[in-house]
Chain A
């Protein structure tokens, strides 16, 4: 039984098949197992973000079924943490308060927040330390660099121990070194907590380095044109990205994407 299963999903923006409607994804099927790190790659505008919204119940498809964690998705799923390319911190809250935000919303934390405040704060600070932001909880988001904000954003998506982590190009706006550093952060967090991850990205090296399974999507309307298991042994060191097997997989995926771009 898959943890996430999208079966033959079609989604249109801008009304039901009207003249101005945009067909975002068509006949999209994806299966991700529990605890698996999966990545979705594809040319820009292929409906990767739509996939995220469908899987988390922020949008509902016109056709097809979506099952997450054994339940049909007909409202926003409550087991997901999300991080985007834009860290979307709330500027009036300190970093720590930003990270604690999910605890103010998600049950059972919401009703326990007052009683267990100290415990939750300790947890948030631990998480901050894990991503290399130790002691920066009292700063405001705009006092941090882009990379640091993105780390904080990861903390916020993980604080409530979600079973599912949805990442929409979270490292897209970062410089190469910071990006690789954060790859390792998310790799270690995944190894530690065993949540399921769906990572949307257009960086093939990122996809191959981090994930167990890569889905390649075609140009709009998006559907999965290839699925590739990544069998590189874990734990993976950054050095693995310079080995021939790694390069081969990236090369193979690149060929698929190139094909997808020219196909339409």
Chain B
């Protein structure tokens, strides 16, 4: 797949354009830097606070990946179990939906009471928030095996495990990776929320401390770092997805 040059340059063009418009708008409208600093001021803050930002970013990334990793392990297990049994699916689905609809911000204070301020609240928040989409998608992949495929396998004398291993798991991989892209961003959001309330480190904590100081340029700098990190995480998941489930992307649609 070769994209024309215009498509390759488009992301760069739009990103640069965004910052230029932002800069010009701030200067022309004379917006106070306490409210919206210019991009140049934000980049200035990035240079000035580069070490706290870098340390914070590293910490946030590490906590996110820890929570996300835990989430993958457990949600895949739960997804496989739920997807292979109608009884468990019927029983556990309402519970999962219920847990998922609780705003995770509301859970963090509880985590602080249980585990104290530290690395656990952000990790657990990241874990809890990214758990649900993976479970649902893995279970869906398994539950939607074509009945004929199942018949072919059963008529050969395949066990439930055979069907799961040869058909169910490969079949749910595209669903799994699709959900990972959503889940990794969610884990990241969860981690920052956890850090804001329940941690002394990380970008979330940095934001919590910059806000009372009205250090808007630093706030924006932290947001920018968060955005870059978020994009990086999605890109990594994307690359892994393309390597493992290229077979699922066969149509030219949207290419």
A173 at the interface (CB under 8 A from B): no
Cα of A86 to Cα of B147 in the assembled complex, Å: 11
Assess the B148–A90 pair: CB atoms within 8 A.
Answer: no
- Taking CB atoms and an 8 Å cut-off, the chain B residues in 133-190 that contact chain A are 146, 148-149, 151-158, 162, 166-167, 170-171, 173
Residues on A with beta carbons closer than 8 Å to the beta carbon of B208: none
Kindly name the residue among B146, B148, B171 whose own CB sees the greatest number of chain A CB atoms within 10 A: B148
B151 touches A82 (CB 8 A): yes
Q: How far is the CB of A156 from chain B (nearest CB, A)?
A: 8
Assess whether B247 is in contact with A92, with CB atoms less than 8 Å apart. yes
**A166 to B154, alpha carbons, bound, how many Å?**
13
B240 within 8 Å of A (CB atoms): no
Query: CB distance A90 to B149 under 8 Å?
Result: yes
Stretch at the interface among A98-106, A123-131, A207-215: A98-106
Residue in B149, B151, B166, B170 whose beta carbon sits within 8 Å of that of A58 in the complex: B151
Residue of B nearest to A166 (CB): B155
Q: Is the CB of B155 within 8 A of A80?
A: yes
Residues of A within 8 A of B151 (CB): 53, 56, 58, 82, 84
Within A99-122, the residues touching B (CB, 8 Å) are: 101-102, 104-107
Tell me the minimal C-beta distance from B14 to chain A in angstroms. 34
B contact face: mostly helix, strand, loop, or mixed? helix
Q: Does A91 contact B (CB under 8 A)?
A: yes
**Residues of A with C-beta under 8 A to B157:** 76, 78, 105-107
| C-alpha spacing A58/B156, complex, angstroms | 11
- Chain B residues within an 8 Å CB radius of A160: 156
A48 CA / B248 CA spacing, docked (Å): 33
**What number of B residues sit within 8 Å (CB to CB) of A?**
21
Task: Give the CA-CA distance A57 to B156 in the complex, in Å.
Answer: 11
Chain B minimum-CB-distance residue to A82? B155
Q: Which residue of A lies closest to B157 (CB)?
A: A78
Contacts of B167 in A (CB 8 A): 90
B250 adjacent to chain A (CB < 8 Å): yes
Which residues of B have CB within 8 Å of A90? 149, 166-167, 170-171
- B215 part of interface (Cβ distance < 8 Å): no
Q: Is the CB of B155 within 8 A of A56?
A: yes
Q: Does B245 lie at the interface of the complex (its beta carbon under 8 Å from any beta carbon of A)?
A: yes
Map CB proximity to B onto A66-78 as digits: 1 under 8 Å, 0 otherwise: 0000000000111
Q: A82-B152, A84-B148 are in contact. Are A105 and B248 (CB under 8 A)?
A: no
Which residues from chain B contact A57 at a C-beta distance below 8 Å? Answer: 155
A105, B245: Cβ atoms under 8 Å? no
Bound-state Cα–Cα, A30 to B167, Å: 33
Closest Cβ of chain B to A198, distance in Å, is: 12
B161 → A minimal CB distance (Å): 11
Kindly state the separation between the CA atoms of A78 and B245 in the bound complex, as whole angstroms.
32
- CB-based nearest A residue for B151: A58
Q: How far is the CB of A184 from chain B (nearest CB, A)?
A: 24
A76, A78, A88: the one contacting B148 at CB < 8 Å is A88
Q: How far is the CB of B119 from chain A (nearest CB, A)?
A: 39
* 30 examples of A-B residue contacts, CB within 8 angstroms: A53-B151, A56-B151, A56-B155, A57-B155, A58-B154, A76-B157, A80-B155, A82-B151, A82-B152, A82-B155, A84-B148, A84-B151, A84-B152, A88-B148, A88-B152, A90-B149, A90-B166, A90-B167, A90-B170, A91-B247, A91-B250, A92-B170, A92-B171, A92-B248, A101-B156, A105-B153, A105-B157, A105-B162, A142-B250, A166-B155
Given A82-B155, A105-B158, A105-B166, 19 more A-B residue pairs with CB atoms under 8 Å apart are A53-B151, A57-B155, A58-B155, A78-B156, A80-B156, A84-B152, A88-B146, A90-B166, A90-B170, A91-B248, A91-B250, A92-B245, A92-B247, A101-B156, A101-B166, A104-B166, A105-B153, A140-B250, A142-B250
Q: A interface vs B, CB < 8 Å? A: 53, 56-58, 76-78, 80-82, 84, 86, 88, 90-92, 101-102, 104-107, 140, 142, 156, 160, 166
7 tightest A-B CB contacts, nearest first: A78-B157, A105-B156, A92-B247, A88-B148, A105-B158, A76-B154, A88-B149
